[in-house]
Amino acid sequence: MKNIILLGGSNSVMVNGLQKGLREYANVTNLALGSSTNNQNLYELKREKNQEAIKNADLIVTESNINEIYNNADEKEALSLEIIFKNLQYLYATLYELKKPVCILILPLGVHRYVEIDNMHRFLANFFGLNIIDMQSYYEKSEIIQFGNKFGPHQLAIVNRYVGKEIAKNIDCLKASNKNLDVNLPEFKILTPQDMKRVGNFKTFNPKNSMYDEIVYRLESDNYLSFEGYEGYQIIGMHSWNLEINGEITKLNWAQTISHCASIHLKNKDKNIVKPTSKLNIFCEIQAEPIIDSSLIIKFNDENLENSEFYVNARPNTPNSVSLPYFDLISFFLCKVGNC
């Protein structure tokens, strides 16, 4: 059987959807994470633990447009089109450089700024010579876009399963790009607290389930991190997973999970960036994209500063919300400023 890497959001995580269809004809390494954008897809391509699977992949399937539509539309997060497009360029250039067949899946959702976001994917996929399955265009031409809209962010599983099955069954029809492009990508780095200067004592946990296996460092009021040795890099993303106080994965329902929040505080001599995440396994952008200098530290928001940016599935300061007395961090995603 052929080997497929799957990158995406919750439509790729759904058990009976896209991944199930792909598995009918291929071995699948699923690197998807719910409510995450193209930046998480790139992050997974750069993680050391994924390199062997990527090396052995016969095809990489990636989808993210629905999450970008929603994260841009959310009035609190309002993820900017500029950041979405910049990070898409990084992702598609990285996929091109792998010299492997790539399938870009544009899922159908005709709401908010979907035209601009879907066109970003189309433009870059064509520029780099990557394969596209454009379900949005098909739904529009077939005049069934309202059918797609009916299901919102989670498209009908049986449809996605059929699409996955057809992709895997016809894998040999999907070719690597034949373009000859001069690509100049920035240097990316994934930095875990283990790689950083740690001040104070840190509790560590190893949450794992059928899909995920991570190492979490707990930021509390008596510890902090610094980026000593990484000056000049820019922070473009963050991976967190706020656990229960005993380090276990939450068993709360969805509404409770996204309203149990903690904020991280990025602080240097010039600015304060404060961002909340919830008890979900979350990868999100740091929209301020601070440049690391010698004064930048990372701490739990024990001063209860107001949040300066948000994430679509973290809902602090709402009825029945709970403020956690800690922040559970996995890693930061960096790129070298001179090339960003």
By percentage, how much of the chain surpasses pLDDT 70? Answer: 99
Is residue 7 in a domain? yes
- 152 and 70 in one domain? yes
Average pLDDT value for residue range 214-233? 97
Residue 176 has pLDDT above 80, yes or no: yes
Nearest to 108 by CA among 97, 98, 121: 121
Q: What is the pLDDT of residue 339?
A: 61
pLDDT digits (tens, 9 = 90+) for 118-174: 999 999 999 999 999 999 999 999 999 888 888 888 989 999 999 999 999 999 999
- 223 and 141 in one domain? no
- 241 and 163 in one domain? no
pLDDT digits (tens, 9 = 90+) for 35-79: 999 999 999 999 999 999 999 999 999 999 999 999 999 999 999
Q: What is the mean pLDDT of the chain?
A: 96
- 214 and 315 in one domain? yes
The total of other beta-carbon atoms located within 10 Å of residue 194's CB is: 11
What's the domain range around 273?
188-339
pTM of the model: 0.97
Nearest to 290 by CA among 253, 318, 256, 265: 265
- 9 and 156 in one domain? yes
pLDDT digits (tens, 9 = 90+) for 103-130: 999 999 999 999 999 999 999 999 999 9
- 239 and 145 in one domain? no
Is residue 179 in a domain? no
Residue 334, strand partner residues = 189, 235
The amino acid present at 84, given as its one-letter code, is: I
Task: Show which of 140, 173, 206 is a domain's final residue.
Answer: 173
Is residue 35 in a domain? yes
- 324 and 229 in one domain? yes
| Domains identified in the chain, total number | 2
Is residue 97 in a domain? yes
pLDDT digits (tens, 9 = 90+) for 296-316: 999 999 999 999 999 999 999
Average pLDDT value for residue range 98-107? 98
pLDDT digits (tens, 9 = 90+) for 180-200: 999 999 999 999 999 999 999
Is residue 283 in a domain? yes
Q: What is the pLDDT of residue 110?
A: 92
Residue 340 has pLDDT above 80, yes or no: no
CATH number at residue 103: 3.40.50.1110
- 322 and 225 in one domain? yes
pLDDT digits (tens, 9 = 90+) for 36-48: 999 999 999 999 9
- 219 and 155 in one domain? no
Contact indicator for 185, 96 with CB cutoff of 8 Å:
no
Tokens standing for 8?
A: 């995406």
Residue 60, strand partner residues = 5, 102
- 66 and 21 in one domain? yes
Is residue 293 in a domain? yes
Residues 6+ apart with CB under 8 A from 203: 217, 218, 220, 247
Is residue 178 in a domain? no
The number of residues in the chain equals: 340
Q: What is the pLDDT of residue 337?
A: 66
Task: Show which of 141, 173, 205 is a domain's final residue.
Answer: 173
Contact indicator for 261, 278 with CB cutoff of 8 Å:
yes
Cα pseudo-dihedral 85, 88, 89, 95, rounded to 10: -170
- 307 and 212 in one domain? yes
Average pLDDT value for residue range 8-24? 97
Residue, of 4 and 155, whose pLDDT is higher: 4
Task: Show which of 127, 146, 173 is a domain's final residue.
Answer: 173
Q: What is the Cα–Cα distance from 4 to 53, expressed in whole angstroms?
A: 9
CATH number at residue 228: 2.60.120
Q: What is the pLDDT of residue 123?
A: 98
- 132 and 71 in one domain? yes
Nearest to 330 by CA among 250, 234, 200, 218: 218
Nearest to 327 by CA among 193, 196, 142: 193
Is residue 180 in a domain? no
Residue 338 has pLDDT above 80, yes or no: no
